[in-house]
């Protein structure tokens, strides 16, 4: 029920905030970039009591401003506080987040839907109720939006108790929720607000450079592509539109396949889901490396370069400007999205920025400030060696040896720099027990290492002979998954993988079974690596903000900070200390007997960093 008289509503609202320790809050907004001031606050709803308790809905007006002291003193339950609390903070309202029902549902079962409609159907037996077009929310009568907003808060408050009871019944999940997830929501809001500084002249320069590269590669490809078979393309290559001449289109998988498999008679190495010959990146690399030479090999190389440049240009350079506001991009982090517990981001995806320096030099360049990158060294390998209790790996880490160099020495019997790169592909490629074919693919695509079938099989066998406890851990994990269909991370996160229990004799389901087993082996490692970084972020954020610094990004196993030039040493000491201190894991009953080391680099831009110790500051 919407109260029309705002003065009565405000007095009543104030009494409820005084009488109830906990309330639920939810907001409705337009869809736009809030950091550019484009988003409009449509309504704010607050509920107290239970599903039939009192609900208040405010417009963005003077009455909402008058309610600010009570809004900021009340403890709130939210459904997706990463959005609601962030948006309200941008409008000048700092609402305390006490609990998050989306986070609770995510921890209980990360594979299940987390929308408020779905969980209220599951826990309350309530049907769907949202009939608002969010992209055109201002076209709906405000009263209609307000009623839906009110129902959001009523359901959030009603779902809180059953979800909290389930979380509290699982002490391990309860610890993850209270000590890691809830603090991380608040900290990631700070990271989002801080934003990533962009050197816009450098962005313009690189955009122009890539436009030239794409045009040049396209010209070279068009002038070196053979004519099509008249039996297939009777009039030559199809026209792209009515105004262009007939010309080969390197973006057409059908035309590329025609050149490779019809004209050049190259072998079909893989097929797509629709049964057509694959022309994907993996296939092109294999054809270029093992099945072609001379002109054909050169053509394939140019095609791969063109595709890569076009993808980078379209995915990053052309899309980034729309996310820039006041010289910064503010990625939206997704803490409750990836089933393994890893963090992802969007608008833009800061974690997908290419690693090469020409792209990362676009970010930074703030006068008076230093970019600081703090990166965990081989986090997943360290955690896997601890889980497996692999003695050779553990000893290497405890003695601060280079594991990639050690693998090159022990597995490849070669200590050259090139061998180290091959060993790196083995360490990360075989970490979760990949087969020889998967190892070849990982080595090619991620490390630029080309292994023959025999080499992949031989290296895999020697690797697990060298590190036998790793294979033993894979086998134990697989057997436990087959029996239970459930896996836990060392800190207590849970995943349900029922496909792991499918009998081997059901041949058509073997692929799903193997996929579930691989995910089950992967999850404890990735999840723990993520939680260790999140906990470090939670500790570091408040300390560095007190010194005028800020965490501006979280990218895989690294934290990126913007630090006043005269505070670099002070902040670096804090960051390194907190990231390497794992004594807090004892609260989870864990004694981590492998060091978690962090490498600190500093510079003006993300793409021009040098080791902090090398600068004489360590």
Of 225-239, 334-348, 562-576, where does the model show the most confidence? Answer: 562-576
Query: 516, 295 in Cβ contact below 8 A?
Result: no
The pLDDT, as a whole number, for residue 447 is: 85
What is the C-alpha to C-alpha distance for residues 386 and 456, in angstroms, rounded to an integer?
25
> Which domains are seen in the chain, by residue range?
6-169 (3.30.420.10), 200-320 (1.20.1060.10), 334-377+529-615 (3.30.70.370), 381-523 (1.10.150.20)
What is the C-alpha to C-alpha distance for residues 563 and 171, in angstroms, rounded to an integer?
38
* Token output for 36: 């550019």
The pLDDT, as a whole number, for residue 51 is: 53
Residue from 179, 539, 575, 180 nearest 376 by CA? 575
* Token output for 326: 């006041």
Please compute the mean of the pLDDT values over residues 488-508 and round it to a whole number. 92
What is residue 27's three-state secondary structure?
A: strand
* Token output for 40: 């409009």
Q: Which residue pairs, CB below 8 angstroms and at least 24 apart, start in 122-130?
A: 123/158, 123/159, 123/162, 123/163, 124/51, 124/155, 124/158, 124/159, 126/155
Q: Is the pLDDT at 494 greater than 80, yes or no?
A: yes
What is the C-alpha to C-alpha distance for residues 122 and 159, in angstroms, rounded to an integer?
9
Query: 524, 487 in Cβ contact below 8 A?
Result: yes
Q: Are strands 324-325 and 328-329 parallel, antiparallel or unpaired?
A: antiparallel
417-462 pLDDT per residue, tens: 889 999 999 999 999 988 998 898 888 878 888 888 899 999 999 9
Residue from 196, 261, 253, 214 nearest 553 by CA? 196
What is the C-alpha to C-alpha distance for residues 160 and 574, in angstroms, rounded to an integer?
37
Query: 359, 353 in Cβ contact below 8 A?
Result: yes
Please compute the mean of the pLDDT values over residues 183-212 and round it to a whole number. 97
What is the C-alpha to C-alpha distance for residues 197 and 220, in angstroms, rounded to an integer?
37
The pLDDT, as a whole number, for residue 50 is: 65
* Token output for 421: 């790169």
The pLDDT, as a whole number, for residue 415 is: 87
Please compute the mean of the pLDDT values over residues 603-613 and round it to a whole number. 94
Give the C-alpha distances (Å, rounded to integers) separating 235 from 186, 224, 229, 396, 550.
62, 19, 10, 64, 61
Q: Name the pLDDT band for 477 (thresholds 50, 70, 90).
A: very high
Residue from 172, 160, 151, 175 nearest 104 by CA? 160
Query: 199, 358 in Cβ contact below 8 A?
Result: no
What is residue 330's three-state secondary structure?
A: coil
Please compute the mean of the pLDDT values over residues 566-583 and round it to a whole number. 97
Q: Is the pLDDT at 28 greater than 90, yes or no?
A: yes
What is the C-alpha to C-alpha distance for residues 539 and 578, in angstroms, rounded to an integer?
7
Whole-number average pLDDT of the chain:
92
Q: Is the pLDDT at 36 greater than 60, yes or no?
A: yes
What is the C-alpha to C-alpha distance for residues 153 and 156, in angstroms, rounded to an integer?
5
* Token output for 283: 């296939």
Least confident of 196-205, 237-246, 300-309, 337-346: 237-246
* Token output for 163: 């979800």
514-554 pLDDT per residue, tens: 999 999 999 999 999 999 999 999 999 999 999 999 999 99
């Amino acid at each position: 029920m919407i109260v029309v008289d705002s003065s009565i509503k405000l007095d009543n609202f104030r009494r409820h905030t005084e009488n109830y320790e906990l309330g639920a809050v939810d907001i409705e907004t337009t869809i736009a970039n809030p950091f550019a001031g484009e988003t409009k606050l449509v309504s704010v709803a607050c509920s107290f009591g239970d599903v039939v308790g009192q609900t208040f809905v405010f417009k963005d007006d003077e009455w909402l401003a008058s309610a600010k002291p009570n809004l900021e003193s009340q403890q709130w339950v939210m459904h997706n506080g990463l959005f609601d609390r962030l948006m309200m903070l941008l409008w000048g309202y700092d609402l305390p987040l006490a609990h998050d029902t989306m986070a609770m549902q995510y921890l209980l079962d990360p594979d299940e839907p987390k929308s408020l409609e779905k969980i209220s159907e599951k826990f309350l037996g309530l049907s769907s109720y949202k009939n608002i077009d969010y992209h055109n929310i201002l076209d709906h009568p405000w009263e209609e939006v307000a009623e839906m907003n009110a129902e959001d808060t009523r359901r959030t408050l009603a779902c809180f108790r059953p979800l909290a009871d389930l979380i509290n019944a699982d002490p391990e999940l309860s610890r993850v929720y209270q000590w890691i997830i809830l603090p991380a929501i608040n900290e990631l809001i700070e990271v989002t607000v801080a934003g990533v500084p962009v050197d816009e002249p450098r962005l313009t320069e690189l955009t122009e450079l890539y436009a030239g590269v794409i045009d040049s590669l396209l010209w070279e490809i068009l002038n070196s592509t053979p004519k099509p078979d008249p039996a297939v393309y009777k009039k030559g290559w199809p026209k792209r539109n009515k105004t262009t001449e007939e010309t080969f289109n390197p973006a057409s998988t059908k035309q590329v396949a025609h050149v490779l498999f019809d004209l050049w008679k190259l072998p079909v190495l893989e097929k797509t889901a629709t049964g057509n010959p694959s022309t994907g990146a993996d296939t092109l690399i294999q054809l270029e490396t093992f099945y072609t030479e001379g002109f054909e090999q050169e053509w394939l190389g140019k095609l791969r370069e063109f595709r890569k440049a076009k993808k980078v240009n379209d995915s990053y350079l052309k899309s980034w400007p729309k996310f820039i506001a006041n010289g910064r991009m503010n990625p939206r982090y997704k803490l409750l999205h990836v089933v393994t517990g890893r963090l992802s981001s969007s608008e833009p995806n800061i974690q997908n920025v290419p690693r090469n320096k020409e792209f990362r030099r676009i970010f930074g360049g703030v006068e008076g400030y230093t970019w600081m990158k703090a990166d965990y060294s081989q986090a997943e390998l360290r955690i896997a060696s601890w889980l497996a209790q692999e003695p050779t790996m553990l000893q290497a880490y405890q003695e601060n040896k280079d594991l990639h160099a050690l693998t090159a020495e022990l597995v490849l019997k070669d200590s050259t720099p090139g061998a180290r790169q091959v060993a790196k592909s083995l360490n990360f490629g075989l970490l979760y027990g990949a087969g020889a074919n998967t190892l070849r693919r990982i080595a090619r695509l991620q490390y630029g290492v080309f292994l023959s079938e025999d080499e992949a099989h031989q290296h895999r066998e020697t690797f697990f002979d060298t590190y036998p406890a790793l294979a033993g851990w894979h086998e134990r994990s697989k057997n436990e998954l087959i029996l239970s269909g459930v896996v836990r991370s060392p800190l207590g996160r849970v995943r349900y993988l029922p496909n792991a229990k499918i009998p081997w004799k059901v041949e058509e389901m073997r692929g799903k079974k193997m996929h579930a087993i691989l995910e089950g082996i992967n999850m404890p490692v990735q999840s723990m690596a993520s939680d260790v970084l999140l906990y470090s972020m939670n500790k570091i954020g408040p300390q560095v903000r007190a010194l005028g610094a800020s965490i501006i990004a979280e990218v895989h196993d690294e934290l990126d900070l913007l630090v006043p030039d005269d505070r670099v040493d002070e902040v670096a000491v804090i960051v390194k200390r907190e990231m390497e201190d794992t004594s807090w894991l004892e609260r989870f009953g864990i004694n981590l007997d492998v060091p978690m080391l962090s490498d600190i680099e500093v510079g003006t831009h993300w793409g021009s960093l040098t080791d902090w110790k090398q600068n004489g500051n360590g």
